[in-house]
Chains A and B, each alone.
Chain A
Amino acid sequence: MPETTAPVTGTILHLQRLSTEDGPGIRTTVFYKGCPLKCAWCHNPESLLLKPQVQWIGNRCISCDSCLETCDRHSLEKTANGIKRDRTRCITCGKCVQACPTGAMEMLGEDITVIDLANELVKDRAFFEKSNGGVTLSGGEPSLQPAFTLALIKALKDRGLSIALDTSGLCPPDTLEKLIDNVDIILFDLKLINELEHEQWTGVSNKHILANLLIAKERVQSSQNNKKLWVRTPLIPQATDHRENIEGIGEYLAQHMRGSVERWELCAFNNLCRDKYARLEKEWVFAETPLMSAGDLARIEMWAKDSGFDPERIFVTGAIRIDN
């Protein structure tokens, strides 16, 4: 069928090919831009805003001043600490990004059509097929761009690819239902079970998220095609890694989800995103937090396994601290 309307576009950050941490098999993960939550530990701070942003990567800069010369808004300034951007003046026109010869000025977020994106995602089909993998829509939050996401899912299904939706769970219920009905795997984040803590750490209540989780259960259980639901909990030191939270989530899943959760993944804190915050001129409260130790993870795994949730379905992943 020829396209009769303007092509649907969405804003994404980037694609991660040969991704092995976002669902079963080998996957290509689409990182969306824009997220309704503001998790204090967020590992992808560049994905928070829906609109594109520009960042400056100091170690790529060769001080050629091309960016300064090209900026007609005069929003850039050369300082002892590198190029500073006056974000009140900058209109994210991208001229400095184009002018930069080294990629030190980088645009975070690009608009892409469904067709272009689907054609890119299909390239690793052979690897998906051999591994029972596929495409994971992640972010950011895919449900923040529902029309684009639904069109993308359709395009990917037309190409015979398996699709996973990685969601924070915060979106209108009818959007979630539509998305779930069209994907094969749902990766549902459940970070904190206590509503107040959830609000404290992510900026929003978990009331709607928990309600949506029940919808997810219902849609998964009523689906004909062996849809899978995985719940994921980030293990953040001093935030989510305490006993009440882990046991609370486990109990909740055991009591309310009744076998619909194929896997509960506990993902250890990682600090590789530290520089991202600096580049976006943001503070990160976890900047000095070390990786968790093997002992920490073992303890958490024990709590999870004693929580009433099927221990066989619990997976702890992530980097651990190596002490000299």
Chain B
Amino acid sequence: MSTITTEKPRFTIKEPKLLSDRVGWLRDYFFQGVNRKWNNEYTSWTTGTPWDFQYNELSFYIVPETYFYIPTFRSSFKQTAKPVALHQDFWKWSLPERRAWFLKAVIVDYLPKEILPGDLLAGARFNVMISHCLTERETKEYDSLIYGKNGSRAAMLWFHNHGYGNAGATSGHIVPGYAQVIEKGWIAINADLKKYYEALSESDKKGSKGGQLRAMQTASTMARDLAKKYHKLLAEMAEKESEPARRIELKTMAANMARVPWEPARNFWEAVQSLWITHMLVMADENYPGPGVSFGRIDQYLFPLWESSLKNGMEREFGKEILKCFWVHCNTAYDAMIHTGGNQGITAGYGQLITLSGVGAAGFDMTNDLTYAMLEVIDEMTPILEPKPNLRLHRGTPEQLMDKVVEMIASSQGAPFLLNFDERSMAGMMLEARKTGVEHLINSTNVHEYAPVGCLENTMVGNDRSGTVDDNLNLLKAVELTMTGGYDMNPVVDALTGKPAKLTLDGADTGSPETFTTWEQVWQAYVVQTKHIIKRSVKLYEKSEAIRARFFQTPYLSCLVKGCAASGNDINQGGAELNFVTVEAVTYASTVDSLLAVKYLVYDKKVCTLKELIAALRENWSGHEKLQAIAVNKTPKYGRDDDVADRMAKQVMDLWTEEVWKYKTSSTNRQFRPGMLSWNYWISYSNILAASPDGRARGKFLSNAICPSNGADIKGPTANVNSVGKVMGGKALDGKGDWGEYFNVLPNGGSHTITFNPSIMRDPEHRDKFKAFLRGYIENGGSALQINMLNVDLLRDAQKHPEDYRHLLVRVTGYNAYFTTIGKELQDEIITRESHQMC
């Protein structure tokens, strides 16, 4: 064996392929990042009043990494804001009217209109920070609700610093009603809004409903007026264009913009154009690029026009070319903070999710030619960040699609898409309907129309806001409070002064645990503490929800969500037909394993007393290494298909999910529902949460979403899958589940990641086995799976030679990142995570 270190990468990295000059150029241009002449960086806009501000911090309460920068963001956007000349009546209008008018003015009259070379879609700039449009008095009220002693920010920081988790009313995470815009045009929405407005009583017209509906009417013409501007630009460009083919393209684009999105789209090009303009303005309306604003079943609602355009002579490859331009446009969301941070602004997990394939009415599979065309686009564009694809699998998924799926996974570093599992997912949606009495909106005739948002969070489409990332709760905190009788295990140390805080009874008073003589007493205390932390978490959420409902309406988005027009309420005021807030439980496996460890160590095997265990935790296992080793290595764990351990896991699951259903927001009447997605919190909270009985020391990573703890799944992927399926509810023995025989206690779904060694797909015979593994997952597994296909040697090589691996894409909880751009800590974590060997 040679010892020479080669300069060339030893492994093949997935590269884009078959790209036309046009798309190749656009894609390369995007990846030039800050070196680009053109970008879609935030521009900031003000009413010109001294109290004005733009930055909406509520949306970032769920991103602990940004807490430190919140004051800076607010002041820097304010400082760079450019004034907008206000309408003479501006300050007489209601707040939503002011916001609708202001955004429209910025988008239509102030933002530059540009077309990149060769681009087939118009609609370039949309990342804006617009004024909150508040009066001085409103600003004072707003600020006191944010900055006051009991304000949202202090409450949020306390919650975070003490390791409970975080919560905040966050934008996006929704599938707007895009299909109806393509089919009927904004003109239909505008007409509906007029009808609703006219139907109001005179007093309602003067009240908040009237204001909201007038605001929505203003918003509903924004896309039309922007399209007119682009039409003019494109017509001028066509005039000047000397290259005949491009000239025809520009002329067609000009014609497209003369029509859509105001009028119904008549062909595929118009449809994609209509979709893009409509979508990018949602991101503008929320002042936040791409936070899970998702497209839903794009291969279904675009299919009729795809088919008719192909019939009318559109080349299939040209159709794909339009889609590839769409892909590039989605990525420009990342330009928002392109000059902030070291990674070209790619600081947050965006997630403009598209849904492909899946089951339809009466159980038929809905895969079509556009599904395949989009998979080809993904294959040819990968690696690329947006839009994120989520592919729905079910028992009836055709072999041809399975083959394509496995082929794409085999040729990529990780699956270039997330997989969603229909039967399990739909069972969760049916449960949600039954639990909350919305069977008229979600039932067996339409539940197949569901689509995930962001990464894997299941919602209905065009009428549903489920706040899927808004409330993130560390279940493990309840174990800590159980072990202390309601106090923090270790005092929170002030970052500035270094002083430890006084320990106070923040949790429920469950008494001194030293007095517990039976496991049952420990469990009962855990039950009380779990209920307590859930209550605290929904109370915290209420603070930002109430502020957002009052001060931050998004009338444009509200036009695209069924229920808002009819109720005269903004989507941020609970206007959608379906209104949920999802509590995403974090640290699930760490919690289950900790409870299993307490039971094993103290009560079953009597390795130590509870008092000794608590002392070890307080001292972060220091001086208790033997006990820690037993806790890590000898205690039962979730994720091994061990029925006894998994029964505890199910108990934990049932307890917290049932508790969550008891709550609604008081300001907007939104129902809380359970889910499991932990983004990167299992890292962020690893230093905050005290040592845990499962043997984890403070600073060591917590468990991720519904996955077993790191390294715990020693029985391999099938055991891991079986455990996940069991705790989500398994199947009914009598066949009568919530969907077929399936149960799912997490309507939002649970994020499940498994890392495989690439040798699993080394030849056709093994690829068949992998297909069978996925079919087995449909039977036994959870609602969503992300497949990582990593090679430890490759990752180590990439760590040593980052310059050779710039394109190496890794996925973490549905969040993809370039491996060489993430911190060493996380790189190490990915490397040490067990890579399942199938041979």
Apart from A18-B716, A20-B769, what 19 extra A-B contacts exist at CB < 8 Å? Answer: A18-B838, A20-B760, A20-B839, A26-B772, A26-B776, A60-B633, A62-B626, A62-B629, A64-B629, A101-B629, A102-B632, A126-B780, A127-B773, A130-B772, A130-B773, A131-B768, A131-B776, A133-B769, A319-B759
> With A101-B630, A101-B633, A324-B1 known to touch, is A21 a contact of B839 (CB < 8 Å)?
yes
Determine the distance from Cα of A62 to Cα of B769 in the docked complex, in whole angstroms.
40
Q: Are B769 and A123 in contact (CB under 8 A)?
A: no
Contact string against A for B residues 31-67, beta-carbon threshold 8 Å, 1 for contact and 0 otherwise? 0000000000000000000000000000000000000
Is B590 an interface residue, CB under 8 A from the partner? no
Across chains A and B, which 4 residue pairs bring their CB atoms closest together, nearest first?
A131-B772, A127-B776, A101-B629, A130-B775
With A17-B718, A18-B718 in contact, do A25 and B10 touch (Cβ < 8 Å)?
A: no
Residue contact A25 to B633, C-beta cutoff 8 Å: no
Q: A101-B634, A124-B718, A324-B2 are in contact. Are A25 and B772 (CB under 8 A)?
A: yes
Q: Does B722 lie at the interface of the complex (its beta carbon under 8 Å from any beta carbon of A)?
A: yes
Interface presence of B520 (CB below 8 A): no
* Cα A210 to Cα B175 with chains together (Å): 67
* Cβ-based interface call for B604 (8 A): no
Cα(A20)–Cα(B772), bound, Å: 11
Nearest CB of B to A233, in Å: 17
B779 adjacent to A126 (CB under 8 Å) = yes
Q: Which of A18, A101, A319 has the most CB of B within 10 A?
A: A18
Grouping DSSP codes into helix (H, G, I), strand (E, B) and loop, the A interface class, with mixed when no group exceeds half, is loop
Enumerate A268-324 residues with CB–CB distance to B below 8 Å. 290, 319, 322-324
Chain A residues numbered 101-134 whose CB sits less than 8 Å from any CB in chain B: 101-103, 123-124, 126-127, 129-133
A64 touches B625 (CB 8 A): yes
Q: Which residue in chain A gives the minimum CB-CB distance to B641? A: A123
- Kindly state the separation between the CA atoms of A188 and B3 in the bound complex, as whole angstroms: 40
Query: Of the candidates A18, A60, A290, which one forms a contact with B773 in the assembled complex, judged by CB atoms under 8 Å apart?
Result: A18
Which residues of A pack against B, CB within 8 Å? 16-21, 25-26, 60, 62, 64, 66, 101-103, 123-124, 126-127, 129-133, 290, 319, 322-324
Contact residues on B (Cβ < 8 Å of other chain), bracket: 35 or more
Closest to B632 in A: A102
- Please, could you name 9 A-B residue pairs with CB atoms under 8 Å apart, sorted by A? A17-B716, A19-B838, A20-B839, A26-B773, A26-B776, A101-B627, A102-B632, A131-B773, A324-B6
Among B1, B4, B634, B776, contact of A126 (Cβ-Cβ < 8 Å): B776
Q: Which residues of B contact A123 (CB under 8 A)?
A: 641, 718-719, 722
Contacts of A127 in B (CB 8 A): 718, 772-773, 776, 780
> Which chain B residue lies CB-closest to A123?
B641
Enumerate chain B residues within 8 angstroms of A133, measured Cβ to Cβ. Answer: 769, 772
List, in ascending order, chain A residues with CB within 8 A of B768's CB: 131
Chain B residue numbers with a CB within 8 Å of A323 are: 1-2
CB < 8 Å neighbour of B633 from A16, A20, A102, A319: A102
A193 to chain B minimum Cβ distance, whole angstroms, is: 27
- Output the least CB separation between A162 and chain B (Å): 13
Contact with A along B823-839 (1 / 0, CB 8 A): 00000000000001011
| Chain A hits for B1, CB < 8 A | 290, 323-324
A126 cross-chain contacts in B, Cβ below 8 A: 776, 779-780
Q: Which of B716, B718, B775 has the most CB of A within 10 A?
A: B718
> In the complex the two chains form, what is the Cα distance from A100 to B153 in whole Å?
49
Shortest beta-carbon distance from A237 to chain B in Å: 15
Interface status of B766 (Cβ within 8 A of chain A): yes
Choose one: B632, B641, B766, B776; the contact of A20 (CB below 8 Å): B766
Q: Distance in Å from the Cβ of B731 to the closest Cβ of chain A?
A: 10
Pair A18/B717 contact, Cβ less than 8 Å: yes
User: Which residues of chain B have C-beta atoms less than 8 A from A66's C-beta?
Assistant: 626
| Most chain B CB neighbours (cut-off 10 Å) among A20, A21, A133, A290 | A20
* Bound complex: CA A211 to CA B641 (Å): 42
* Inter-chain contacts of B759 with A (CB < 8 A): 319
Shortest Cβ distance from B4 into A: residue: A324
B796 within 8 A of A: no
Say if the beta carbon of B715 comes within 8 Å of chain A: yes
Name the distance in Å between A128's Cβ and chain B's nearest Cβ: 8
| Chain B residue nearest in CB terms to A15 | B715
Q: A25-B772, A101-B634, A131-B776 are in contact. Are A62 and B719 (CB under 8 A)?
A: no
Docked pose: A189 CA to B137 CA in angstroms: 86
Report Cα–Cα, A324/B2, bound state, in Å. 6
Of B715, B769, B839, the contact of A17 (CB 8 Å cutoff): B715
Q: Once the chains are docked, how many angstroms separate the CA of A26 from the CA of B721?
A: 14
Query: How far is it, in angstroms, between the C-alpha of A319 and the C-alpha of B836 when the chains are bound?
Result: 16
The distance from the CB of B625 to the nearest CB of chain A, in whole angstroms, is 6
* Contact between chains at A20 and B718 (CB < 8 Å): no
A211 to B836, CA, bound (A): 39
CA distance A322 to B722 in the complex (A): 35
- Give the nearest-CB partner of A318 in chain B: B839
- On whether the beta carbons of B769 and A26 are closer than 8 Å, the reply is yes
Closest residue of B by beta carbon distance from A124: B718
Residue of A nearest to B629 (CB): A101
Decide: A103 near B633, CB < 8 A? Known: A26-B718, A26-B772, A26-B773.
yes
Among A25, A123, A132, A323, max chain B CB count under 10 A is at A123
CA distance A101 to B772 in the complex (A): 38
Smallest CB separation, A7 vs chain B (Å): 19
Please report the C-alpha to C-alpha distance between residue A16 and residue B836 in the assembled complex, in whole angstroms: 12
Task: Tell whether, in the assembled complex, residue B769 and residue A131 are in contact, meaning their CB atoms are under 8 Å apart.
Answer: yes
CA distance A290 to B4 in the complex (A): 18
CB distance from B390 to the nearest CB of A (A): 22
Interface string of B1-22 (1 = CB under 8 A from A): 1111010001000000000000
Nearest CB of A to B516, in Å: 24
Residue numbers in A under 8 Å from B838 (CB-CB): 18-20
B732: min CB distance to chain A, Å: 15
Q: Which residues of B contact A26 (CB under 8 A)?
A: 718, 769, 772-773, 776
Q: Name the residue of chain A whose CB is nearest to the CB of B836.
A: A18
